[in-house]
Chain A
């Protein structure tokens, strides 16, 4: 196990964590403000990836793909929110989960009809197809770009929520929606704004992930589950929790998968280690989540009220 390999895997973990953060931020914002759980968030990510792949393959420009794909996902999110989801805000969580479960089935089948059941490929943009040299380590520049975009979004979200009027209303709406509405703020428009922001972030995640994963029906669910683990671990409703939770889950998952099987071989019989290694590695983040919940049921970085 060389230091270089470890560093590469750590960067891979960071990059997965950043992607998870883009999704978790939207999901946790929507949950924090509207007390609404949107299982179809993974479907928005999938639609974002498909939009981006379609535009990229038609025009050959990654920038155009982003300029079309992200707003298109945002628009789709807003339409879905207006048509189906606003009626569910006042319902209990069971109804919300069930309705968004129905939406997942719908979107998965929709992309299967439009783009077919096979994967759609999306190349890494030419300008970012090389590698970057860092401390003698060669790492794909596109993955660095993902990390950069994610950190920029994180900073942007922090400034938006803590330094702007809209952010102030979002924070107020999360804790005292009735008071905010009584002060004359259009809470419905605020909800739509937040939902659209979440959808745009999911679309951005889909765009950035497009070239490094296979764009296919049902691609949103595995990452949605990881996102749920992130949110539960970090603390539901907290952007800070989503950020740190995403990084922890991304790094632990990647490092565990890369090194645990080799590490186990040091202690266990070869055949047993080969069987148990991948199994334990795939369970690692869930065990982490269980430990966090056992010690702090509210998550690592819960929302601070007041």
Chain B
């Protein structure tokens, strides 16, 4: 028996067009989302002003993980498919860059193209197998497959094995290269914004409705005649490809590809980001990625054993803050909008 995920009210994303609120009021959730994105856009400027170039690198990490979390959230938040193995796709993206660079291919288009092609094939095959199961078995099998690729990377002796693979130069896109930290940052940020806009359209289109329908009651959706497997598989592949792009960016940031990128901790971190920020919202994963990495930064500056604090914190977050930071705001705004709507 699997329990259905709690279903947030329609428009809980805070960014859905609402019939009950005709005037476009500035709500807290919209404000937070806007401030977050504008703040991220200004990071290189601010870090240049305060002469702390390290912050660009730190925030590039945040943007990359925000992108990956956004991708995973498509199936986790909107489809209730808890994949505990999406770090696998980050690793695939990173290894595509690493292995192509190892063989002297420096073109960013080739890196992205090969990464997306390989990631797409792997995602279709694994998706078809994993989606035969649901609930608990789906979590376990995605975790096991990610682990399979993790061990596979260990056996790639010619590409560094467990030591990982150093990448000589960052991707070259012809018109621009990612050699400068600022270019890489804005490239990652631009991809994040593009994905946010695309996902906004996707989840509010028929596709997103069907996906959310499957989350609420898949049997009913099937009875209505929707080929639910095809929708879930498409969502799974899209979410995997977004993580592949994040992996390509991560390899460019660290100039390194290692099996540890695919470790189960990486997959777990992505889920923590989503739940911390608010699952089933668009800005939530972004807020969660920034939140978790800032938290890690503070904790690790404070003590070497920061995991002993983070672990129980995760348990507490799960036990108390069910809807996450951004999800809480979005819920509150949606509630107020309905109250205002019924009061008028």
Contacts and interface: CB of A to CB of B under 8 A. Distances in A.
A99 B275 CA distance: 11
B310 interface: yes
Interface residues of B, number: 48
A109 B264 contact: no
Given A97-B271, A113-B305, A232 B311 contact: no
Most chain-B CB neighbours within 10 Å: which of A107, A108, A225?
A225
Nearest to B153: A279
Interface residues on A, range: 35 or more
A92 B275 CA distance: 13
Interface string A27-47: 000010001010000000000
A102 B141 contact: no
A102 B5 contact: no
Interface string B308-337: 101111110011001000000000000000
B41 interface: no
B180 interface: no
B151 A282 contact: yes
B133 interface: yes
Contact of A283 (B148, B156, B311, B318): B148
B271 A104 contact: no
Contact of B5 (A92, A105, A229): A92
A93 B136 contact: yes
Given A97-B82, A225-B144, A282-B152, A106 B319 contact: no
Given A94-B76, A279-B152, A102 B315 contact: yes
A178 interface: no
B132 A294 contact: yes
B144 A236 contact: no
Contacts of A221: 264
B155 A37 contact: no
Contact of B155 (A84, A113, A279): A279
A228 B84 CA distance: 12
Given A282-B152, A282-B155, A297-B133, A228 B307 contact: no
Nearest to B151: A282
A258 interface: no
A102 B314 contact: yes
Contacts of B152: 279, 282-283
A88 B137 CA distance: 18
B305 A109 contact: yes
Contacts, number: 130
Interface string B266-282: 00100110010000000
Interface in B125-156: 129, 132-133, 135-137, 139-141, 143-145, 147-148, 151-152, 154-156
Interface string A227-259: 011011000100000000000000000000000
Contact of A94 (B140, B156, B271): B271
A84 B320 CA distance: 12
Contacts of A37: 136, 139-140
A286 B3 CA distance: 27
A127 interface: no
A236 B308 contact: no
Given A97-B139, A279-B156, A289-B144, A102 B133 contact: no
A98 interface: yes
Given A293-B129, A293-B133, A102 B275 contact: no
B2 interface: yes
B314 A105 contact: yes
A231 B157 CA distance: 31
A87 interface: yes
A133 to B, nearest CB: 35
A275 interface: yes
Given A92-B3, A278-B155, A283-B148, A104 B311 contact: yes
B82 A286 contact: no
A286 B145 contact: yes
A160 interface: no
A232 B157 contact: no
B272 A98 contact: yes
B319 A87 contact: yes
A35 B1 CA distance: 8
Given A93-B139, A99-B315, A102-B312, A228 B144 contact: yes
Most chain-B CB neighbours within 10 Å: which of A37, A97, A112?
A97
A161 to B, nearest CB: 20
Interface string A71-94: 000000000000010011001111
Most chain-A CB neighbours within 10 Å: which of B272, B275, B311?
B311
B22 interface: no
A231 B129 contact: no
Given A232-B141, A283-B152, A105 B3 contact: no
A303 to B, nearest CB: 12
16 contacts: A92-B6, A93-B136, A97-B82, A97-B139, A98-B318, A99-B319, A101-B268, A105-B308, A107-B311, A109-B308, A228-B143, A228-B144, A236-B137, A275-B158, A283-B148, A294-B129
Interface of B: 1-6, 76, 82, 84, 129, 132-133, 135-137, 139-141, 143-145, 147-148, 151-152, 154-158, 264-265, 268, 271-272, 275, 305, 307-308, 310-315, 318-319, 322
Given A35-B1, A286-B147, 6 more contacts: A92-B3, A94-B76, A98-B314, A104-B311, A232-B137, A289-B141
Per CB-CB distance, the 5 closest pairs between chain A and chain B, nearest first, are: A102-B314, A106-B311, A105-B311, A286-B148, A109-B307
